[in-house]
Amino acid sequence: MKTILVTGGTGFLGSNLCIRLIKEGNRVICVDNNYTGRLQNVAEIMNNPNFRFIEHDICEPLNVNDEKLDQIYNMACPASPPAYQGSYSIKTTKTCVLGAINMLELAKQHGATILQTSTSEVYGEPLVHPQVESYRGNVNPIGIRACYDEGKRCAESLFFDYHRHEGVDIKVIRIFNTYGPKMDPNDGRVVSNFICQALSGQDITIYGDGSQTRSFCYVDDLIEAMIRMMNSKKGFTGPVNTGNPGEFTIKELAEKVVAKIGGNSKIVYKALPKDDPSQRRPDITLAKHKLDWEPKIKLDEGLDKTIEYFKTQIDLFKKA
Ligand code: UDP
């Protein structure tokens, strides 16, 4: 049994990870300020004796003196563009940067391995396609996505400096678009928006002309990659791309969702937000080679599972 701390543990990915780690017999300490996470995401493990929830904002230092930590997954951060571009923008940079420092200090104190959930956003509007880890990206440092993109880039830099200068055992993954159960119906991301709009008979909102692409990974595949990376050979730091290389236009996604759910929803077109990347697809050669990992769940299968989940959540979806 390992003692594992997960920041952002009540969020979409964090809660899926906590549940899997508990099922595998670990002791899990879930840390979240619940700004964008939801306690209901961990309701099924809340009373498990191996699970502990600490309400805490990682912008502040965290001491864990009563338990020895083996591993830390640093996942806390608003991750949906409407969340980090709105009132949480400055908080997003602080969470990335101060949060990384505080969690790296905690890892150093405990001699724990720490995994950073970085992002495909470090590539910005990519001029290399598909994106390989050696590509340094094309980020607008003063744009509306910069709080997240530059925050995550700075966090990567902090991780590598703590590794070089403080000997901290680090692992860095770059997560591409991921979807599945426990997404917040109101967080504004494309998969949750399209499914909830179709289920509630509203128009499906495509931003721009829908020709931009994304590559969507089902959450169970992503969690598997995270755990493999955390437990990879000592000294292997990454960064490693984790995502599904199946690439779709946003229009194709909308059409798939409409075909699956039916109903009266029409597709409507709205303005494309600034700096919205036109294409994204991970090159996962490194993950295949180092982690013996590749996604197994195709978009159609994953969407079916996600639609079933959102049917149980539809009362929570804000009507436009
Ligand atoms: N998008 C859209 N309609 C929506 C929400 C998002 O067309 O209701 C587009 C968005 O402009 C972007 C893509 O879908 O091009 C993915 O957006 P998301 O917010 O899910 O994640 P991103 O990859 O931009 O971080």
Candidates 250, 258, 280, 317: which one to mutate for ligand 1, based on the most atoms within 8 Å of Cβ?
250
What is the model's pLDDT at position 319?
58
17 lines ligand 1 (CB under 6 A): no
Q: What is the pLDDT of residues 303-318, one digit of tens each?
A: 999 999 999 998 887 6
The predicted model scores a pTM of 0.97
Closest ligand 1 atom to 81 CA:
19
User: Of the residues 140, 183, 207, which should be mutated to test ligand 1's pocket, given the most ligand atoms within 8 Å of the CB?
Assistant: 207
Q: What is the pLDDT of residue 28?
A: 98
Please tell me the distance from the alpha carbon of residue 308 to that of residue 299, in angstroms, as a whole number: 14
- Taken in order of first residue, the domains within the chain and their CATH numbers are 3-179+218-242 (3.40.50.720)
Looking from the CA of residue 177, the nearest atom of ligand 1 is: 23
Of all residues in the chain, what percent carry a pLDDT higher than 90? 95
- Contact present, 192 and 185 (Cβ < 8 Å): yes
Q: What integer pLDDT is reported at residue 197 of this predicted model?
A: 96
Give the pLDDT score at 83: 87
Distance 163 CA to ligand 1 centre (A): 34
How much is the mean pLDDT over the chain?
Answer: 97
Mean pLDDT computed over 15-24: 98
pLDDT of residue 207: 98
Give catalytic residue positions: 148
Tell me how far the alpha carbon of residue 48 lies from the centroid of ligand 1, in angstroms. 36
For residue 216, the CA-to-ligand 1 centroid distance in Å is: 11
pLDDT digits (tens, 9 = 90+) for 96-122: 999 999 999 999 999 999 999 999 999
pLDDT at 95 over 90: yes
Rounded percentage of the chain residues whose pLDDT exceeds 70: 99
